[in-house]
Amino acid sequence: KEVIELAVSGTLNAMRSCVRAGTVKRVILTSSVAAVAGRPLPLGDSHVLDEESWSDVEYLRVTKAGGWAYNVSKVLMEKAARTFAQDSGISLVTVCPAFTVGEAPATIVHTSVPVILSLLTGDDEKIRSLELVDRASGSIPMVHVHDLCRAKIFLAEEEAASGRYICSSLDTTLAELATFLAAKYPEYNVNTDRFGGRPEKLRVCISSAKLIGEGFEFRYKALDEIYDDVVNYGRSLGILPY
């Protein structure tokens, strides 16, 4: 309850301040793919989720799967912000980023970076978080933090931009990711056997076609490019040994 209520009230307070200022032309609201992909997985493979897809709040409340309150908070925050923007007349664009990774100025990191490096660090708790995402969403979508920042600036400046935009440059699976990391970084002894029974084929693709269709181009599109950067970042923070 606290997570959900704080997300909604905090967002609305910030938007009220924007309206009162009288100088804000557009609000860029950061949500998450957690507001897109938290729903029962469809049967079969190769399903595409786009901006019309919403996490199922009732399903999440009933199942209470790991992180369910975060997913619900993002959905309710988005919808409250959209209603407020319509009533107040302020322009609102919402960005739904995937797992956001890559080198940043921050010297303390809490979620995305430790989780995305967990197969290399062997942190079992963080690996279980990655397993949960893979199992619940049917894929592990990622975006480099530099691309996310560029996308927000792009959408702030693009006059025609409106509504929601997913920001994800690639999708992978846990089995595929473990195989890739074991080959690229053999010094970290990635345990690929743990994921032997998991499907390597994507069940779900988190689509950024709308963002790309507006003219945005991702610079980091491959696991190689993303992990070269985030591994160096993890080493500099002491999360990974050199």
The three-state (H, E, C) secondary structure of 25-48, written as one string: CEEEEECCCHHHHCCCCCCCCCEE
**Average pLDDT over all residues of the chain:** 93
CB atoms inside a 10 Å sphere around CB 152: 18
Residue 231 located in a structural domain:
yes
Residue 35 located in a structural domain:
yes
What is the pLDDT confidence band of residue 1, given thresholds at 50, 70 and 90? confident
Residue, of 44 and 214, whose pLDDT is higher: 214
Span 134-192, pLDDT tens digits: 888 889 999 999 999 999 999 999 999 999 999 999 999 999 999 999 999 999 999 99
pLDDT at 136: 81
Span 32-54, pLDDT tens digits: 999 999 988 776 667 899 999 99
pLDDT at 135: 84
Number of residues assigned to the chain: 242
Residue, of 215 and 64, whose pLDDT is higher: 215
pLDDT at 110: 83
Contact 134, 140 (CB under 8 A): yes
Contact 8, 74 (CB under 8 A): no
Residue 87 located in a structural domain:
yes
State the CATH number of the domain containing residue 8: 3.40.50.720
Residue 21 located in a structural domain:
yes
Residue 173 located in a structural domain:
yes
pLDDT at 242: 84
Residue 76 located in a structural domain:
yes
Q: Looking at the predicted structure, is the pLDDT value of residue 234 above 70?
A: yes
Q: What is the per-residue DSSP string for the chain? A: -HHHHHHHHHHHHHHHHHHHHS---EEEEE--THHHH-SPPPSSS-EEE-TT----HHHHHHH--TTHHHHHHHHHHHHHHHHHHHHHT-EEEEEEE-EEES--S-S---SHHHHHTHHHHT-HHHHHHHHHHHHHHSSEEEEEHHHHHHHHHHHHH-TT--EEEEE-SEEE-HHHHHHHHHHH-GGG---GGGGTTS--S-SEEE--HHHHHTT---S--SHHHHHHHHHHHHHHHTSS--
User: What is the distance between the alpha carbons of residues 191 and 187, in angstroms, rounded to a whole number?
Assistant: 12
User: What is the distance between the alpha carbons of residues 106 and 132, in angstroms, rounded to a whole number?
Assistant: 26
Edge-to-edge, what's the strand order for the sheet holding 99-101? 99-101, 140-144, 170-172
Q: Please give the tally of structural domains in the chain.
A: 1
Q: Looking at the predicted structure, is the pLDDT value of residue 197 above 90?
A: no
Span 64-76, pLDDT tens digits: 887 899 999 999 9
What is the pLDDT confidence band of residue 12, given thresholds at 50, 70 and 90? very high
Segment 8-17 shows an average pLDDT of: 98
Give the range of the structural domain holding residue 224, as residue numbers without chain letter.
Answer: 2-237
Residue 242 located in a structural domain:
no
pLDDT at 149: 98
Segment 58-86 shows an average pLDDT of: 94
- Is 0.85 surpassed by the pTM of this model? yes
Span 102-115, pLDDT tens digits: 998 989 988 889 99
Residue 107 located in a structural domain:
yes
Catalytically annotated residues? 74
